[in-house]
Chains A and B, each alone.
Chain A
């Protein structure tokens, strides 16, 4: 094992141990100096996760959250110096974390908060002009083949739990009353989109989530509608399209030549 590997291993070890060969310039105890550094590393990683997942932390309390985050950090040290995206698989870790098994929705709340951070840091893009939308509406023959370029911050998430309601309940002043009205067992899907500097989270139906995912994958409007209707005959395309237009999610409209729909 190289000295670097030994140093890195000691940083993340559960039992504090000073890596061999450390010396200090002023003769102070290297083990104590190392312990301070080691603590800083762990605290900053846990803080990064706590900053990204405030609702997850509130749900379980700070003590529990920091303990899970520490376990995660030990098993998953950062691969990049950019802390904004640290914890990409934190939700997956929570899902497998036995002590949190009593809260089946916890992992998905963390997943939603991670997506929120992703959306926050995504590239800027201007939505298409109302004129471009009107132009498309005026030419219905081209609608089914039309493709939308969606905003780079747009994220879709489907959950078996009421993640959007759980998240939203923690945004107001009276968290407990808001939580009392949430039925966690109801499946919910979310659309995340940054408008200006704020990430908005919209509650959408599973069929709308399917529809937007197909648009995101570059499929034509007609194909996406058909696939969403196949998933759920009650799919409301007016509502789904209205939301995309209203929220400014459409960044561009293209008409591939000779496209068959």
Chain B
């Protein structure tokens, strides 16, 4: 079956899914934001109900949808198939078009640009980001909360590392979608991914020209710019996909963006590059579990006598593939994994960076932080980078991608 059979989630029909809402309130019980603040009245009100009053020429009846973090949990739990989060993201973009985009949002929505600017002067840039007085100024001037976790510039790029090496030929070829996070902020994690995939018997291509997938722009309502980013990224990845090479990414929200959200929310279903990228895109844990199910995953991991907690971020849950990271970590002898029972850590990409939302993000994450604190783990594990930075800052527990655990268990670090 092709995606053309999925018209109920694309184009105007996605918005029309609001007619399926029976006001059952299940989304309200799961919404992490409305459960901690009255500023957001919840997905049911702001989504299927308020959407009826949003007509193209008119102003939105209610600005509270700005407080939706876009975690997507409402869509996941809705028993009627209403695309609540997607409807809200589109409505928020229209709201922002009217109210204008803040300078702050223009900056934090372009992690590639900040990466490009910060990397050559990483030392200075990192000192700036760690300087309390300068952060207070940034909070005053820009509205980026001075307490929010921000990444460090690595001072080198993953692409530079990848350019200088060739992956040994192997029967299975995968193309690594590293995006902006691994390139400018966590090149080590990109390297570990390549090393792990090679250990697992894959030849790893790193398509050139990758930057940011456009998700932060989409979340901040800048759809025009987001589409440009998506097109550029899809152009970079499509040649590999057209050769039948599977695309594998470590940034779970970004793999979801290219797999599904750009087609659904940005309405880019007709872009041929995106279509082939979307059809062949896998989150890395999803991919490795798929190999394991086919009996094709190397599993001679060495014992790892550690206790770790695992939080499946909301965007990972948006893939609808369960919690493959848990299945993979279960293959590691001696590793004790404590599954966290939380829907969202609060950061939701760039949401928790914002001065007016930082406290909400901390309240949303409170339960998760307590679970991690109580477990006293050696490491916390989570698939999404912004969540890792947020969790690490809030709990003081070193927080890593599942790949890092497997990399250790493979004896590579």
Decide whether A and B assemble into one complex.
no
- Chain B residues proximal to chain A, CB less than 8 Å: none
